[in-house]
Amino acid sequence: MKHWTEGFDDDDADESLVRPYTITGGRTTSERNDLTLITLVTAISEVSSEAERRLRRMQPEHRTIFALCKRPLAVAEVASALNLPVSVTKILIGDLIETGQMRTRPPLAFAQAGGIPDMTILEAVRDGLRNL
């Protein structure tokens, strides 16, 4: 089996850190702290014309995220697809949420509460794994 790192382009290894923060207009932290690695984000298909105008004025990365999220994707998947750090990606996704172009589905917080997930979820995961 081919190792997944093969074919990865190393050209940008020395890339300056300026670029990610340029995309965010200099912001280094998201104003939203409700986005997690597995918060699922989905582009809203029927956005208002005002939202469409705003999207056109945004960074190309915003438009890439919007296009990627035609189907629900986790924040981590978006970051990976854009090859941007998670924190930068969260800022960009936050912009799209603010302007009404995306909706989110946060995960349930089981472990922080010291709790065990609902049996329905566990059974679904078990059945899904058995089908692998």
Partner 1 sequence: MDYAISDHGDAAPLAVKILIAGGFGVGKTTLVGAVSEVAPLRTEEYLTHASVGVDDLEGVSGKSTTTVALDFGRITVNSQLVLYLFGTPGQERFWFMWNDLVNGALGAVVLVDTRRLDVSFASIDFFESRGIPFVVGVNCFHGVKDRTQEEIRRALDLDPQVPLVLCDARDRTACRDVLLALIDHLMAARSHTAPHPVA
Instruction: Kindly list the residues in this chain that would bind partner 1 in the complex (CB under 8 A).
Output: 4, 17, 36-40, 42, 44-45, 72, 74, 76-77, 79-80, 85-87, 103-130, 132
Length of the chain: 132
Judged by beta carbon, residue 67 or residue 132, the one nearer partner 1 is 132
Least distance in Å: CB of 122 to partner 1? 5
State the nearest-atom distance from the C-beta of 129 to partner 1, in Å. 5
CA proximity to 41, closest of 122, 114, 97: 97
Contact 132, 74 (CB under 8 A): no
Of 31 and 124, the one with the shorter C-beta distance to partner 1 is 124
The residue behind tokens 């004025």 is 57
In angstroms, give the least distance from the CB of 40 to partner 1.
Answer: 5
Ramachandran area for residue 30 (φ above 0: left; ψ -120 to 50: alpha; else beta): beta
